[in-house]
Amino acid sequence: MTSIRTRFAPSPTGFMHVGGVRTALFAWLIARQSEGVFILRIEDTDKIREVKGSIAQIENSLDWLGITWGEGVTVGGPHAPYLQSQRLDIYKAWAQKLVDAGRAYADPYTQTELEDFRDQAKAAKRPFLYRDHRPEQPPTWNGSQPLRFRSDPKNYVWKDAVMGELSSGPEAIDDFILIKGDGFPTYNFCHIVDDALMGITHVLRSQEFISSTPKFLNLYEALKIQAPVLATLPYVMAIDGKKKLGKRDGAKDILEYSKEGYLPEAMMNFLATLGWNDGTEQEIFSGDELIEKFSLDRVQKSPARFDEQRLLWLNGQWIRRLEIEDLYERAVDFWPECAQQASKDAKTQVLTLVQDRLKTLADLAILSSYFFEEPTPNWAMVDDNKQLSKLSRKEHVDLLRTSMNELSSGKFDSESVQTTLNHLLEVTGQKPAILFSLIRLGVSWAPFSPALNDTISALGQHATLDRLQQSIDAA
Ligand code: GLU
């Protein structure tokens, strides 16, 4: 396999959301699998839209996911600089080549004149094309007028590595701006120059650029550059599949997920399988497996749906797979206040118990606080429970009393506790869904907890009896 060079080329206009990061991930994967290079280039030519701090935010997001780049703004590389605003001379020189070859010209029109052309086209029910108004004798380009491409409108048929064969007619091609009046190049122009100079072999980007591709093909020809492999990634849609992912559906800063207790492994797994699968039923993929198995021809052509429940499920799966020491390290910032003073051993014991139940590391607060501090009885939780609400308060209290009796003697390791609990089922004639739920609430007053025998064995006999008594007192 020849070495693939890909780039991720975000504009520094704010935080990174799932769609953008997925593009970066796919580009990184195909570079990694050919032992090629993944480049981070920052496209900061639209100074008005720029948001301060975005570059660090982009780098931190990729860092968190373990998407490493071999060349880029902070790491440098053979094609530096990787910040487009520092490459203006390069674009100017390439623009001049086009001027010299008669393929670019200075735009002589004022805004009002351009508006008039647009209005005329509208009145005539024709699509507006700038090239219909190409000036016969354009002025010499002095850098202060917009520079336009003298296009060569024609039909195109091209192959997109994801979308397959695509085609367009001459109407898709116009004399677009290469360099704006402020001296900054347009995206349409400078990304092509940079991709060529940086030796990019595969361009992966979102669906929004597909309608501009005929223009790009036309410019590649004018510049005598061989076009790289083009791969268009379908949009990421909201779960209903009807609209593009918006803030309310989870299109938030990817780093927010880190703060909410998601693991980067789970996020990478989730992003990779947003519109890609390996053709089997496999759902869990590590980064290494993805590098081995990912391929552009298995990226689906239709938009992917962003299913946050699936992300949550994957996160739980990844948490389960962690070694306990590793989980301990990652969970450091997620303990509830009441656990701050607890020893590492005590926390590790709790982690062992709750590991399988954590969907996010943030669940630790709810799932663990009752191990470190006495809960406040909240009988409303019993009344809200479908099964438990069938019994009267007196029956609840009687059941807890009987449980206290049985639990007050005998050994308290988790196996012995299980034996006692089984015996309690016989004595009371209750179903586990009733008896165990009641005891669970009676000792934890938490919505869920690990296996009951493990939970009360970890609490110890004294605390268990104490809490049951307090719950009875509060009934
Ligand atoms: N700067 C463009 C963006 O942020 C990059 C598109 C591309 O990858 O070529 O959307």
Output the CA 184–ligand 1 centroid distance in Å. Answer: 16
Alpha carbon 341 to its chain centroid, in Å, reads 34
Task: List C-alpha distances in Å: 188 to 1, 232, 303, 315.
Answer: 30, 16, 24, 39
Task: List C-alpha distances in Å: 144 to 108, 168, 180, 205.
Answer: 10, 33, 8, 31
Classify strands 37-40 and 71-72 as parallel, antiparallel or unpaired: parallel
Domain assignments of the chain as residue spans, ordered by start: 87-233, 334-373, 380-473
**pLDDT at position 250:** 66
Contact 105, 135 (CB under 8 A): yes
Task: Give SS3 for 166.
Answer: strand
**pLDDT at position 1:** 63
Any atom of ligand 1 within 6 Å of the Cβ of 17: no
- CATH T-level fold of 87-233: Rossmann fold (3.40.50)
Any atom of ligand 1 within 6 Å of the Cβ of 191: yes
Task: Give SS3 for 375.
Answer: coil
Any atom of ligand 1 within 6 Å of the Cβ of 205: yes
Output the CA 242–ligand 1 centroid distance in Å. Answer: 24
**pLDDT at position 241:** 83
The residue type of 100 is D
Residue with CA nearest ligand 1 atom 4: 10
Nearest atom within ligand 1 for CA of residue 205: 8
Specify the DSSP class assigned to residue 107: -
The set of residues, in sequence order, having a beta carbon less than 8 Å from that of 42 and lying 6+ positions away, is 9, 10, 11, 12, 55, 58, 72, 73, 82, 83, 84
Q: What is the pLDDT along the chain (475 residues), one digit of tens a residue?
A: 679 999 999 999 989 999 999 999 999 999 999 999 999 999 999 989 999 999 999 999 999 999 999 999 999 999 999 999 999 999 999 999 999 999 999 999 999 999 999 999 999 999 999 999 999 999 999 999 999 999 999 999 999 999 999 999 999 999 999 999 999 999 999 999 999 999 999 999 999 999 999 999 999 999 999 999 999 999 999 888 888 887 777 678 999 999 999 999 999 999 999 999 999 999 999 999 999 999 999 999 999 999 999 999 999 999 999 999 999 999 999 999 999 999 999 999 999 999 999 999 999 998 999 999 999 999 999 999 999 999 999 999 999 999 999 999 989 999 999 999 999 999 999 999 999 999 999 999 998 888 999 999 999 999 999 999 999 999 9
Output the CA 9–ligand 1 centroid distance in Å. Answer: 5
Specify the DSSP class assigned to residue 332: G
What does pTM read for this prediction? Answer: 0.92
Does residue 81 have a cis bond before it (omega within 30 degrees)?
A: yes
Task: Give SS3 for 205.
Answer: strand
Any atom of ligand 1 within 6 Å of the Cβ of 11: yes
Task: Give SS3 for 77.
Answer: coil
From 21, 41, 43, the mutation candidate for ligand 1 (largest count of ligand atoms within 8 A of CB) is 43
Output the CA 233–ligand 1 centroid distance in Å. Answer: 12
> Which pairs count as long-range contacts for 330-337, CB under 8 Å and 24+ apart, including other chains?
330/263, 330/361, 331/361, 331/364, 334/261, 334/361, 334/362, 334/364, 334/365, 335/364, 335/365, 335/368, 336/364, 336/365, 336/368, 336/369, 336/372
**pLDDT at position 244:** 83
From 23, 186, 189, 209, the mutation candidate for ligand 1 (largest count of ligand atoms within 8 A of CB) is 209
Q: Which residues of 380-402 are buried (b: 16+ CB within 10 A; e: fewer)?
A: eebeebeebeebeeeebbebbee
Dihedral through CA 399, CA 405, CA 407, CA 410, nearest 10? Answer: -150
Output the CA 159–ligand 1 centroid distance in Å. Answer: 20
Residue with CA nearest ligand 1 atom 2: 10
Contact 101, 223 (CB under 8 A): no
Nearest atom within ligand 1 for CA of residue 208: 10
Classify strands 304-305 and 236-237 as parallel, antiparallel or unpaired: parallel
Whole-angstrom distance, CA of residue 46 vs CA of residue 187:
9
CB atoms within 10 A of CB 81: 15
From 191, 194, 210, 216, the mutation candidate for ligand 1 (largest count of ligand atoms within 8 A of CB) is 191
Angle between helices 461-474 and 393-407 (to 10 degrees): 160
Whole-angstrom distance, CA of residue 231 vs CA of residue 15:
24
Output the CA 305–ligand 1 centroid distance in Å. Answer: 21
- Angle among Cα 206, 211, 212 to the nearest 5 degrees reads 90
Whole-angstrom distance, CA of residue 125 vs CA of residue 148:
24
Any atom of ligand 1 within 6 Å of the Cβ of 6: no
Looking at the domain covering 380-473, what would its CATH class be?
mainly alpha
Any atom of ligand 1 within 6 Å of the Cβ of 228: no
Token code pair at residue 446 = 């938490």
Contact 440, 455 (CB under 8 A): yes
**pLDDT at position 239:** 87
CB atoms within 10 A of CB 376: 9
Phi, psi (degrees; rounded to nearest 5) at 83: -105, 120
Contact 40, 67 (CB under 8 A): no
**pLDDT at position 245:** 82
Output the CA 8–ligand 1 centroid distance in Å. Answer: 8
